[in-house]
Amino acid sequence: FRLSQVCLVLPVKRKTEVSTRSCNGRTVLIPKTLIMAVFNICLVLLLGLSLVACDDPRIEIIDTNPNIDPISNMVIQEKDSDVQLTCVVENQREGYDVMWSVLGTAPNASSTQVSTATRSHDAFRWAIDQPSTTSWRLRVQNSQVADEGLYTCKVQVTAQNYITSSVRVKIVQVPRISDLDTSSDMTKNFDRDAELKCYATGRPEPVVKWTRMAGELLPDGGTMFQGNILRISRVKSNHAGIYKCTASNSAGMDEREIRLTVLFPPEVSTGTREVYQKIGYVKELVCDIKGYPPATPEQIAWMHEGRSVISKGRIEIRNIPGAANRITSIVTIYGVQSEDFGRYTCSASNDKGSGEVSMSLLESDVATPDRSNTVRSAATWVSFQLTTFLMLLSVCVLHRAHWGR
């Protein structure tokens, strides 16, 4: 017998049977007890489906502050800041509370009860409130590394069963370079070893990198070194300068600049060892001096064939300070004479030592330009000096005339 074959059910008042007529015209007798059993089963199924559809709680963590990171699928917050998690429960059954718990990240950690309904189990760490009748908001206060873990919102369905929603919270810390463990500005003698140290706290553990200002090369020839300690063997003058330590992680970065000063004797150099000029023209002899401490004017000297050169008459000496402890010393000879030719020595000293360089002034058949690429004769210099003298004299005369009235 199949129900699909039944076209019409015609109940007949009998004690134990119901008569029906099938599609082929035959009469079938069905026990009344079977009819009642099928009816009861259908009624139970319909009621059960209705209860499940209407009464089973639904739970979800829908709002977090900060927002859930889309890459790691975690709530990532800086240390010492609050974390806020909101759990929404629909169709909550009467008599069953919404609870929060956390499973820490330590090995063999066990789940810790955070709250029951709106009662916090540790008011110092956790605050719980109910913004609406269906939401329970947990605030992890002043979050620390120990607060990291898997946070679960759960509600009881039966005596043995719960439904849950979970989110993982990660606590990070922006790097902070440690003053006690990091080098400050330092001074080293030439050819001594130096160690620049940089240590930082942070979570995840920061990566420390070293660079030099303005893209200068590090002592090993590279532009970047990774590590807490930058070691420099036998420091040279070109190692002096500012070194930058950068500590970084996914939460941010911190920087520190350390100045390395190198004490070294003067390094004296010149562009060329032989210079030429025609008699009667102006010539400049130049030497560059680099040392630390910088040489003073009294510590810079010029010699010509063993005799001191001083600023007098046709000779002028200028010492011009420059960047990076450099000094340019210039001897200008206005109107070169035959006695000016020969060997010149530029020397400089400081409390770390001394240095010198020699050059020769040789006679030329043609006039040569100076550093500004200008050819100047002695007549030009005499004219300039005379013009300057006349201007000063005019000023003095006008001054006397004004005050003599």
51-87 per-position pLDDT tens digit? 444 467 899 999 999 999 999 999 999 999 999 999 9
Q: How far is CA 147 from the centre of its chain?
A: 26
Closest by CA to 370, choosing from 341, 330, 320, is 330
Tokens linked to 204 = 């995840």
- When pLDDT is cut at 50, 70 and 90, the band that residue 14 belongs to is very low
The CATH superfamily holding the domain 270-379 is Immunoglobulins (2.60.40.10)
Task: Give me the residue spans of the domains in the chain.
Answer: 3-55, 58-174, 178-263, 270-379
Residue 386 is predicted with a pLDDT of: 53
Question: What topology is assigned to 178-263 in CATH?
Answer: Immunoglobulin-like (2.60.40)
Least confident of 164-168, 219-223, 369-373: 369-373
Q: Residue 382 pLDDT more than 60?
A: no
In the predicted structure, residue 219 carries a pLDDT above the cut 70:
yes
Average the pLDDT over 191-212 and give the result.
Answer: 97
Lowest pLDDT segment from 13-17, 29-33, 92-96: 13-17
Cβ-contact 126, 138 below 8 angstroms: yes
Question: If you search the block for the tokens 């010509």, which residue do you land on?
Answer: 304
Spatial distance between the Cα atoms of 80 and 93, rounded to a whole number of angstroms: 37
Compute the CA torsion angle 14, 16, 18, 22 (nearest 10 deg): -130
Instruction: Kindly report, residue by residue over 273-323, the tens digit of the pLDDT.
Output: 999 999 999 999 999 999 999 999 999 999 999 999 999 999 999 999 998
**Can you read off the two tokens belonging to residue 264?**
């070294």
Strand order in the sheet with 300-304: 274-277, 353-363, 342-350, 300-304, 307-308
∠ CA(247), CA(231), CA(204), 5° rounding? 20
Residue 104 above 80 pLDDT?
A: yes
206-218 pLDDT per residue, tens: 999 999 988 899 9
| pLDDT tens-digit readout, 22-57 | 445 555 556 667 656 655 665 544 444 444 444 678
Model-level pTM greater than 0.85? no
**What is the CATH number that goes with domain 58-174?**
2.60.40.10
pLDDT tens for 282-292 read: 999 999 999 99
Q: What's the mean pLDDT in 176-199?
A: 97
The dihedral of CA 305, 311, 316, 318: what is its sign? positive
Q: How far is CA 304 from CA 309, 343, 344, 368, in A?
A: 6, 6, 5, 21
Closest listed residue to residue 132, CA positions, set 166, 169, 163, 98: 98
Which of 156-160, 198-202, 261-265 shows the lowest per-residue confidence on average (mean pLDDT)? 156-160
Residue 3 reports pLDDT greater than 70: no
Q: What is the mean pLDDT of the chain?
A: 86
- Strands 111-116 and 98-104, sheet pairing: antiparallel
Size of the chain, expressed as the number of residues it contains = 405
Pairwise CA distance, residues 69 & 192, whole Å: 50
User: CB of 245 within 8 A of CB of 254?
Assistant: no
Please tell me the distance from the alpha carbon of residue 9 to that of residue 296, in angstroms, as a whole number. Answer: 125
